[in-house]
């Protein structure tokens, strides 16, 4: 608008910050719908093979490290909390607090990825990478490869989403630091939060589906 | 309407030089960037088609080897589907028109829009790289296990290109959805929206819901091929049919990504050249949504011979019949609009009529194929090839060209030569039917697709088809030539050369960068021909 007092963050093609915020929020939700279908293809594949090969999946799942998986789950849920606190601080325009909570969220994300790498390394050392070098008990050696293929692709894509989340957090830190984020204009932090929570929720599904199959029977 | 003047300020003279184009955020300029991209890939895809038809002019495989032939039809299909037809109408006409039609200054996310174009070009670069370094021979469908363990062609870069381009499609759909929800001008209620907008809204839903499934499927194929992961490989208990399910879960809806925007164009053309509101507006609007939804429930009709159960086949057959209903609603409503209208036979309307006829043939033969018994007889024959070309080429390309002609004065501010344009429309119509009608007969007689040689008794029909293809090729080159020519030498266009209703005709030709001198306010219904408010604007 030709309003000389327009907020510096207001893009030329919106009438008000309010409208701009609504558009950004809707945009993020639509993007998350896309993400649901992206992971949905994997979950569908998982569901089919798990139904076909329940024993192999249970046996392969036993090779995963439940302790590390549980710790990671807790770490990630905590990072969701710190993210929510960052959003809250943003609504109040508390610059220092936003930056602290964003940094904490990133640190927790870093712990998660660190633990994940340790797990990956163990799988590598135990010859559990699907392909010609795969080693497993004779009975399940074929179908267990499907499980580990799914394991690596699902957790790998999840990790990739976290790394993208890191990039977003860095931008948010930068914007907060230079003063773009204010109590009037905090929607970037809010929609980054939506993204981060989504990534956490994916893990909440991955954890039981991959780590906890058939535990009750043993 | 005779004294047209170039407006002093418009989007084309708002900045010159390559940078003002490559870094633009203006949806109108981005639309033109896409126009350049899709036109380029259309002619690349077309070059492969020429080679296919040359080979098939004689029954023996003389021009190219069987392996080369596999690559030709694959690369033809890949280029045409992913790099031409899917982006063509939404990214060119949709990009240009959606903000203007709803009275907005731009799409909701202009930077994202520019990024989408770069993503599209990056994807195209990967696939082009695959083409020049060994080609691709899996068919555009990438069926496993051939694509993951057997093929020796450049599957990975080609697949990566399609994966990347998919994100361009997703982001475009996302941008359209948010724009249509949030950016409508005051008074532009949902039921005053042009049907072009409704059909693009439905298309965007499919882009956002379907494309990610293709993306993950391609990723699994790549992981299986590169790292020997097991998803579809029977050697580890994987199921190739699962690949087909995932692939068609996207690729059937994708055919509606290709046809729905075309239907939107036709609604605009029919209303404008019959000077009447589209008959049964809400039915046409909801038919778009119905197609988008039902389109997700029919994918396994591509798999009737892939070993799915009889019950699954029956259910998918019935659902496929259902999807024909909203399509037929549209065809009936267009015809009802034309009935007793004062139809003016200008070039865009000729394309619209062509669309309605050819789409009807394509759609009706689709019903043949939805009937399991008949499909098993003609599956993998030229009957299929004819069916989808009647829709993709006879339907979508006709609508695309019709729309390009209709909005050309708005886009360029110039008029093309009407006589030449009518002549080309006729050439294209004749060339198209001569190319593809014989293929229905060939398929019915049992000529399989995807072979470079065939029994001699099929030669007459194949020669007809190849002859038609050369006419069609000329037909496509003509608009290319005279539209370019008009950019420089065409007569200046007035703001509303067709006397049509719609916000895009209430601004200058070409429009200013912010689309309207004054932000518009809408007080009339869609296609309100004859009402006093509207006639005043016309
Ligand atoms: C312009 C839009 C077009 C699109 C979207 C399109 C799309 C396709 C697709 C998806 C296939 C299947 C490829 C496969 O089975 O792997 C195909 C095959 C074919 N197309 Fe097109 N096509 C177009 C234009 C044309 C034109 C203009 C011609 C002829 C001049 C043509 C001739 C053929 C032929 C002969 C085949 C069959 C190859 C075979 O299976 O043996 N197409 N097309
Ligand atoms: Cu289909």
- Chain A residues touching residue B111 (CB < 8 angstroms): none
**Pair of tokens at residue B220:** 């699994």
Asked if B128 and B37 count as a contact pair (C-beta separation under 8 A), the reply is: no
Pocket test for ligand 1, best of B76, B139, B143, B451 (most atoms within 8 A of CB): B76
- Name the band, by pLDDT with cuts 50, 70 and 90, for residue B1: very low
Residue A200 is part of a domain; what is its CATH number? 1.20.120.80
Residue B397 DSSP label: I
**Residue A177, pLDDT score:** 95
Asked if B116 and B171 count as a contact pair (C-beta separation under 8 A), the reply is: yes
Helical residues (DSSP H) of B56-109, grouped into ranges: 66-78, 86-87, 95-102
**Pair of tokens at residue B477:** 């080159």
User: Nearest chain A Cα to B110, which residue?
Assistant: A13
B49 lines ligand 1 (CB under 6 A): yes
Distances (CA, A) of B335 to B269, B278, B329: 12, 10, 10
B210 vs A: CB within 8 A: yes
B258 lines ligand 1 (CB under 6 A): no
Residue A8 lies in a domain: no
> Does B230 contact A149 at a Cβ distance shorter than 8 Å?
yes
Q: What stretches of B434-482 adopt beta strand conformation (E)?
A: none
Cα–Cα distance, A193 to B501 (Å, whole number) = 44
A135 vs B: CB within 8 A: no
Average pLDDT over residues B245-253: 96
- Name the band, by pLDDT with cuts 50, 70 and 90, for residue B342: confident
Coil/strand/helix, residue B50: helix
Chain A (146-175) residues lying within 8 Å, Cβ to Cβ, of chain B: 146, 149-150, 152-153
pLDDT exceeds cutoff 90 at A5: no
Residue A61 lies in a domain: yes
Question: What is the residue with the minimal CA distance to atom 28 of ligand 1?
Answer: B49
> Does A142 contact B236 at a Cβ distance shorter than 8 Å?
yes
Beta partners for residue B526, in sequence order = none
Place of tokens 């179908």: A143
Asked if B381 and B447 count as a contact pair (C-beta separation under 8 A), the reply is: yes
Tell how far the Cα of A73 is from the centroid of ligand 1, in angstroms. Answer: 50
Q: What is the pLDDT of residues A7-28, one digit of tens each?
A: 888 888 998 999 999 999 999 9
**Residue B277, pLDDT score:** 92
CB contact set of B67 (below 8 Å; sequence gap of 6+): B137
Residue A17 lies in a domain: no
For B529, list phi and psi in degrees, rounded to 5.
-60, 135
How many Å lie between the alpha carbon of A69 and the closest alpha carbon of chain B? 23
pLDDT exceeds cutoff 70 at B121: yes
User: Nearest chain B Cα to A35, which residue?
Assistant: B212
**Residue A6, pLDDT score:** 73
Q: Of all residues in chain A, what percent carry a pLDDT higher than 70?
A: 96
B450 lines ligand 1 (CB under 6 A): yes
pLDDT exceeds cutoff 90 at B166: yes
Tell how far the Cα of B49 is from the centroid of ligand 1, in angstroms. Answer: 6
pLDDT exceeds cutoff 60 at B329: yes
Across chain B, mean pLDDT equals 95
B174 vs A: CB within 8 A: yes
- Chain B residues touching residue A129 (CB < 8 angstroms): 227
> Does A153 contact B215 at a Cβ distance shorter than 8 Å?
no
Residue A18 lies in a domain: no
Which residue range forms the structural domain that includes residue A60?
A: 29-217
- Chain A residues touching residue B228 (CB < 8 angstroms): 130-132
Residue A168 lies in a domain: yes
Q: What DSSP string describes B273-335? A: HHTSPPTTHHHHHHHHHHHHHHGGG-GGGG-TTTT--HHHHHHHHHHHHHHHHHHHHHHHHHH
**Residue B2, pLDDT score:** 45
**Residue B536, pLDDT score:** 67
pLDDT exceeds cutoff 70 at A121: yes
Residue B381 DSSP label: B
Distances (CA, A) of B118 to B32, B33, B95, B125, B129: 13, 10, 15, 10, 16
Average pLDDT over residues B173-180: 98
> Does A149 contact B104 at a Cβ distance shorter than 8 Å?
no
Buried b / exposed e over A100-116, threshold 16 CB at 10 Å, is ebbebbbebbebbbebb
**Residue B537, pLDDT score:** 61
A138 vs B: CB within 8 A: no
Helical residues (DSSP H) of B23-64, grouped into ranges: 27-55
B177 vs A: CB within 8 A: yes
> Does A149 contact B231 at a Cβ distance shorter than 8 Å?
yes
Tell how far the Cα of B320 is from the centroid of ligand 2, in angstroms. Answer: 8
Asked if B355 and B262 count as a contact pair (C-beta separation under 8 A), the reply is: yes
pLDDT exceeds cutoff 90 at B6: no
pLDDT exceeds cutoff 50 at B409: yes
**A130: exposed, middle or buried (Cβ count in 10 Å: 0-12, 13-18, 19+):** buried
**Residue A78, pLDDT score:** 97
- Name the band, by pLDDT with cuts 50, 70 and 90, for residue B428: very high
B104 vs A: CB within 8 A: yes
Cα–Cα distance, B503 to B523 (Å, whole number) = 11
Coil/strand/helix, residue B363: helix
CB contact set of A35 (below 8 Å; sequence gap of 6+): A161, A198, B212
User: Pseudo-torsion of CA B155, B158, B164, B167, nearest 10°?
Assistant: -90
**Residue B529, pLDDT score:** 87
Q: Which domains does chain B have, with CATH numbers?
A: 25-535 (1.20.210.10)
Residue in A34, A40, A52 nearest the CB of B208: A34
Place of tokens 């590169």: B226
Question: What is the residue with the minimal CA distance to atom 12 of ligand 1?
Answer: B77
Asked if B48 and B129 count as a contact pair (C-beta separation under 8 A), the reply is: no
Element (H, E) at B386: helix B382-391
3-state DSSP: chain A helix, strand, coil percent, rounded to 5? 80, 0, 20
Asked if B117 and B37 count as a contact pair (C-beta separation under 8 A), the reply is: yes
Residue A22 lies in a domain: no
Sign of CA dihedral A144, A149, A155, A156: positive
B126 lines ligand 1 (CB under 6 A): no
**Residue A82, pLDDT score:** 98
- Ligand at shortest distance from the CA of B72: 1
Q: What stretches of chain A adopt beta strand conformation (E)?
A: none
Could you count the other beta carbons within 10 Å of the beta carbon of residue B483? 22
**Residue B538, pLDDT score:** 59
Domains in chain A, number: 1
Could you count the other beta carbons within 10 Å of the beta carbon of residue B78? 27
For B376, list phi and psi in degrees, rounded to 5.
-60, -30
Asked if B234 and A142 count as a contact pair (C-beta separation under 8 A), the reply is: no
Could you count the other beta carbons within 10 Å of the beta carbon of residue A170? 12
Place of tokens 């981060």: A196
B51 lines ligand 1 (CB under 6 A): no
Cα–Cα distance, B256 to B251 (Å, whole number) = 9
Question: What is the residue with the minimal CA distance to atom 41 of ligand 1?
Answer: B450
**Pair of tokens at residue A20:** 């701009």
Give the predicted TM-score (pTM) of the model: 0.93
**Residue B340, pLDDT score:** 84
Residue A13 lies in a domain: no
C-alpha atoms less than 13 angstroms from C-alpha of B218 in its C-beta half-sphere:
24
What is the end-to-end Cα distance of chain B in Å, rounded? 10
**Residue B530, pLDDT score:** 77
Average pLDDT over residues A29-58: 96
Could you count the other beta carbons within 10 Å of the beta carbon of residue B529? 17
Asked if B288 and B262 count as a contact pair (C-beta separation under 8 A), the reply is: no
> How big is the CA angle at B169 (ends B82 and B133), to the nearest 5 degrees?
40
pLDDT exceeds cutoff 50 at A2: no
What is the end-to-end Cα distance of chain A in Å, rounded? 67
Cα–Cα distance, A112 to A120 (Å, whole number) = 12
Residue A10 lies in a domain: no
Q: What is the pLDDT of residues B488-537, one digit of tens each?
A: 999 999 999 999 999 999 999 999 999 999 999 999 899 988 777 676 66
Buried b / exposed e over A7-26, threshold 16 CB at 10 Å, is eebbbebbeebebbbbbbbb
Average pLDDT over residues B384-395: 97
pLDDT exceeds cutoff 60 at A1: no
User: Nearest chain B Cα to A41, which residue?
Assistant: B213
Tell how far the Cα of B307 is from the centroid of ligand 2, in angstroms. Answer: 17
Q: What is the pLDDT of residues A154-213, one digit of tens each?
A: 999 999 999 999 999 999 999 999 999 999 999 999 999 999 999 999 999 999 999 998
Sign of CA dihedral B435, B440, B446, B451: positive
């Amino acid at each position: 608008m030709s309003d000389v007092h327009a907020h510096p963050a207001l893009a030329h093609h919106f009438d008000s910050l309010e409208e701009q915020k609504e558009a950004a929020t809707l945009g993020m939700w639509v993007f998350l719908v896309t993400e649901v279908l992206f992971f949905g293809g994997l979950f569908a594949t998982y569901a089919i093979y798990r139904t076909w090969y329940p024993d192999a999946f249970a046996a392969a799942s036993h090779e995963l490290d439940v302790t590390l998986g549980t710790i990671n789950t807790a770490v990630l849920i905590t990072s969701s909390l710190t993210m929510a606190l960052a959003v809250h601080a943003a609504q109040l325009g508390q610059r220092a607090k936003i930056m602290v909570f964003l940094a904490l969220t990133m640190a927790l994300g870093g712990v998660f990825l660190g633990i994940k790498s340790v797990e990956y390394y163990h799988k590598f050392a135990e010859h559990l990478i699907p392909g010609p070098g795969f080693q497993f008990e004779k009975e399940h050696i074929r179908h267990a490869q499907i499980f580990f293929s799914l394991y690596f692709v699902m957790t790998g894509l999840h990790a990739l989403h976290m790394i993208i989340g890191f990039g977003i957090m860095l931008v948010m830190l930068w914007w907060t630091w230079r003063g773009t984020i204010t109590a009037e204009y905090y929607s970037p932090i809010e929609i980054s939060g939506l993204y981060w929570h989504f990534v956490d929720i994916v893990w909440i599904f991955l954890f039981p589906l991959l780590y906890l199959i058939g535990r009750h029977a043993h | 309407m005779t004294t047209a003047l170039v407006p002093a300020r418009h989007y084309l003279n708002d900045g010159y030089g390559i940078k003002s184009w490559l870094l633009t955020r203006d949806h109108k300029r981005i639309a033109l960037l896409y126009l350049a991209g899709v036109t380029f890939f259309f002619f690349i895809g077309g070059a492969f088609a020429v080679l296919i038809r040359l080979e098939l002019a004689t029954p023996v495989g003389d021009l190219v080897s069987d392996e080369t032939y596999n690559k030709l039809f694959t690369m033809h299909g890949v280029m045409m589907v992913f790099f031409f037809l899917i982006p063509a109408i939404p990214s060119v006409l949709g990009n240009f028109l959606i903000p203007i039609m709803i009275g907005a200054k731009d799409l909701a996310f202009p930077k994202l829009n520019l990024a989408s174009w770069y993503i599209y070009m990056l994807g195209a670069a990967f696939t082009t790289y695959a083409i020049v370094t060994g080609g691709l021979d899996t068919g555009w469908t990438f069926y496993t296990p051939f694509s993951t363990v057997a093929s020796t062609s450049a599957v990975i870069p080609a697949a990566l290109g399609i994966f990347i381009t998919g994100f361009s499609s997703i982001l475009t759909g996302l941008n359209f959805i948010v724009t249509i929800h949030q950016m409508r001008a005051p008074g532009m209620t949902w039921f005053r929206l042009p049907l072009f907008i409704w059909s693009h809204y439905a298309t965007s839903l499919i882009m956002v819901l379907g494309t990610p499934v293709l993306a993950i499927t391609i990723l699994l194929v790549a992981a299986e091929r590169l790292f020997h992961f097991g998803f579809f490989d029977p050697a580890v208990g994987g199921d190739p049919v699962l690949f087909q399910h995932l692939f068609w879960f996207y690729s059937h809806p994708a055919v509606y990504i290709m046809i729905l925007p075309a239907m939107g164009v036709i609604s605009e053309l029919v209303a404008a050249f019959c000077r009447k509101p589209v008959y049964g507006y809400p039915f046409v609007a909801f038919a778009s949504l119905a197609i988008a939804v039902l389109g997700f429930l029919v994918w396994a009709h591509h798999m009737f011979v892939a070993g799915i159960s009889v019950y699954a086949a029956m259910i998918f057959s019935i659902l496929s019949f259902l999807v024909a209903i909203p399509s037929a609603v549209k065809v009936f409503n267009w015809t009802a609009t034309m009935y007793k209208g004062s139809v003016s036979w200008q070039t865009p309307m000729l394309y619209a009529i062509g669309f309605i006829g050819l789409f009807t043939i394509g759609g009706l033969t689709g019903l043949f194929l939805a009937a399991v018994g008949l499909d098993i007889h003609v599956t993998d024959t030229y009957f299929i090839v004819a069916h989808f070309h009647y829709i993709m080429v006879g339907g979508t390309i006709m609508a695309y060209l019709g729309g390009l002609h209709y909005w050309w004065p708005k886009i360029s501010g110039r008029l093309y030569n009407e006589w030449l344009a009518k002549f080309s429309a006729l050439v294209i119509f004749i060339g198209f039917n001569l190319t593809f009608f014989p293929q229905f007969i060939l398929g019915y007689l049992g000529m399989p697709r995807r072979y470079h040689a065939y029994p001699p008794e099929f030669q007459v029909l194949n020669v007809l088809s190849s002859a038609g293809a050369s006419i069609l090729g000329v037909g496509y080159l003509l608009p290319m030539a005279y539209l370019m020519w008009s950019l420089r030498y065409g007569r200046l266009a007035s703001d509303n050369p067709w006397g049509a209703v719609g916000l895009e005709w209430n601004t200058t030709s070409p429009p200013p960068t912010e689309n309207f001198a004054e932000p518009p306010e809408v007080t009339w219904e869609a296609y309100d021909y004859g009402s006093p408010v509207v006639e005043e604007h016309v």
